[in-house]
């Protein structure tokens, strides 16, 4: 039986989460003869050597990101070199797992399924799927701690920030077929999460899927909220097509700091209030959504004419992401509720105060001051989404 008050889509993944091991990376860099001058986060990943170059490129900047690889075999071979575990990913699935800790259930829309998915899906939620048969196309999930070091030749690379990386080749998520059950699920939904278009590879398929999704959105009852979570597009040239099709149908358009920088094409100093103000002004021109959310490690903001209606939801997202950061997958309701007593990050609080003065339609809340030595950096954005949506459901803020 469907639990359709909240529908979370559009795809889920099977993730191989590896344990960071600098020695393995150093050995691979030496084996492949990689030089620091080669490091890049933008080049195509057609071999394991390309993958190592990409991972080290991200490590050297401390940034996170998501990239396409030429085959799942590259993911399998690389993951086999590390200690790893199997988990579920995808924004909707991780959001659902977070929400269930608060007693909020949902219906998940999936595009692939296998025994791992059946075993690990949140037990209180239901699902619909467009998959005609079982498939497994794992995503490689890498998280590195702040201060992680890897020697490449004579140079010691050191991560300035803890972050996470995602590498995948996932045909079902690349095609993102919609279930014929989706319109019926949406007919009784008060909130619909849209995510996953970032994985698509074919322009014609993308246009077809966007058209089908818009038809399904027509089935939502009046007053339903459509929440769109941005992600790192494997083909950035597809972003304008998605914006053109969906911006007029989306109530809340959300992105993290990496996606903000990807849209802007430049780095943003999150502690420089004038730079943040300019970045937010620029992103509003590029993504003129009704309400725009930017969630970062230092502060989160919602911009728009009714931003105040989302204040509690914004706080709920921050609380959920912070709880996952500290406690990982096994966090409890008590962990979530206790997070609210943590001290706010004073640097983030200064930026939030500045934004409130300079941007009257902004609601900005600073992050908590968390200095955990072994944080979880995987799924923080997904957990933010789950916390935001759960707060809407629990408080009926919208």
What DSSP letter does each residue of 108-133 carry, written as one string? Answer: EEES---HHHHHHS-TT-EEEE--SS
Average of pLDDT values for 53-66?
Answer: 94
Task: Identify the pLDDT of residue 360.
Answer: 86
Average of pLDDT values for 77-105?
Answer: 96
Closest CA to 319 of 340, 299, 347, 333: 340
**Order of strands across the sheet that contains 163-168:** 65-68, 163-168, 139-144, 13-18, 84-89
Q: What is the mean pLDDT of the chain?
A: 94
Closest CA to 203 of 238, 168, 243, 239: 238
Other beta carbons within 10 angstroms of residue 2's beta carbon come to: 16
Structural tokens at position 301: 């903001």
Average of pLDDT values for 299-305?
Answer: 97
Band (pLDDT 50/70/90 cuts) for residue 343 is: very high
Q: Is the pLDDT of residue 304 over 50?
A: yes
Task: Identify the pLDDT of residue 225.
Answer: 97
Residue 189 C-beta-side C-alpha neighbours within 13 Å = 30
Q: What is the pTM of this model?
A: 0.90
Mention every residue, 6+ apart, whose C-beta is less than 8 A from residue 281. Answer: none
Task: Identify the pLDDT of residue 375.
Answer: 87
Where does 6-13+90-136+170-395 sit in CATH, by number?
3.40.1190.20
List, in sequence order, the alpha helices (H) in the chain. 22-31, 48-61, 72-79, 91-101, 115-120, 171-175, 182-186, 203-217, 239-246, 257-264, 273-286, 311-327, 333-339, 346-358, 380-395
Average of pLDDT values for 49-78?
Answer: 95
Q: Is the pLDDT of residue 369 over 70?
A: yes
Q: Is the pLDDT of residue 334 over 80?
A: yes
Q: Is the pLDDT of residue 1 over 50?
A: no
Task: Identify the pLDDT of residue 4.
Answer: 60
Mention every residue, 6+ apart, whose C-beta is less than 8 A from residue 57. Answer: 39, 40, 41
Average of pLDDT values for 44-50?
Answer: 97
Task: Identify the pLDDT of residue 398.
Answer: 38
Band (pLDDT 50/70/90 cuts) for residue 120 is: very high
Task: Identify the pLDDT of residue 397.
Answer: 39
Residues 239-252: b if buried by 16+ CB within 10 A, e if exposed? bebbbebbeebbbb
Band (pLDDT 50/70/90 cuts) for residue 51 is: very high
Task: Identify the pLDDT of residue 54.
Answer: 98
Q: Is the pLDDT of residue 236 over 80?
A: yes
Task: Identify the pLDDT of residue 393.
Answer: 87
């Amino acid at each position: 039986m469907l639990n359709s008050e909240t529908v979370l889509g559009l795809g889920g993944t099977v993730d191989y989460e590896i344990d960071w091991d600098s020695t393995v990376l150093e050995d691979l860099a030496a084996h492949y003869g990689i030089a620091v001058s080669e490091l890049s986060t933008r080049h195509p990943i057609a071999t394991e050597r390309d993958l190592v170059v990409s991972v080290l490129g991200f490590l050297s900047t401390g940034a996170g990101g998501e990239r396409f690889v030429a085959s799942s075999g590259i993911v399998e071979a690389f993951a086999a070199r590390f200690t790893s575990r199997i988990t579920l990913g995808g924004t909707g699935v991780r959001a659902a797992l977070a929400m269930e800790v608060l007693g909020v259930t949902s219906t998940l829309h999936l595009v692939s399924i296998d025994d791992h998915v059946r075993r690990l899906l949140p037990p209180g939620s239901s699902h619909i799927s467009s998959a005609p048969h079982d498939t497994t196309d794992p995503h490689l999930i890498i998280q590195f701690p702040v201060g992680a070091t890897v020697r490449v030749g004579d140079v010691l690379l050191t991560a300035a920030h803890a972050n996470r990386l995602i590498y995948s080749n996932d045909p079902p998520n690349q095609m993102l077929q919609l279930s014929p059950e989706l319109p019926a699920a949406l007919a009784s939904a008060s909130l619909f999460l849209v995510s996953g278009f970032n994985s698509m590879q074919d322009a014609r398929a993308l246009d077809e899927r966007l058209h089908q999704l818009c038809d399904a959105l027509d089935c939502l009852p009046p007053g339903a909220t459509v929440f769109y979570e941005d992600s790192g597009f494997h083909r950035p040239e597809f972003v304008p097509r998605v914006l053109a099709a969906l911006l007029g149908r989306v109530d809340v358009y959300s992105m993290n700091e990496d996606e903000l920088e990807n849209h802007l094409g430049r780095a943003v100093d999150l502690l420089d209030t004038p730079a943040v103000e300019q970045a937010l002004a620029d992103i509003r021109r590029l993504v003129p959504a009704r309400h725009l959310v930017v969630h970062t490690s230092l502060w989160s903001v919602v911009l728009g004419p009714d931003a105040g209606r989302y204040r509690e939801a914004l706080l709920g997202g921050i609380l959920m992401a912070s709880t996952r950061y500290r406690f990982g997958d096994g966090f409890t309701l008590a962990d979530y509720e206790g997070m609210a007593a943590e001290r706010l990050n004073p640097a983030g609080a200064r930026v939030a105060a500045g934004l409130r003065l300079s941007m009257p339609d902004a609601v900005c809340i600073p992050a908590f001051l968390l200095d955990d030595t072994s944080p979880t950096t995987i799924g923080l954005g997904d957990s933010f989404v789950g916390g935001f949506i759960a707060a809407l459901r629990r408080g009926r803020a919208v």
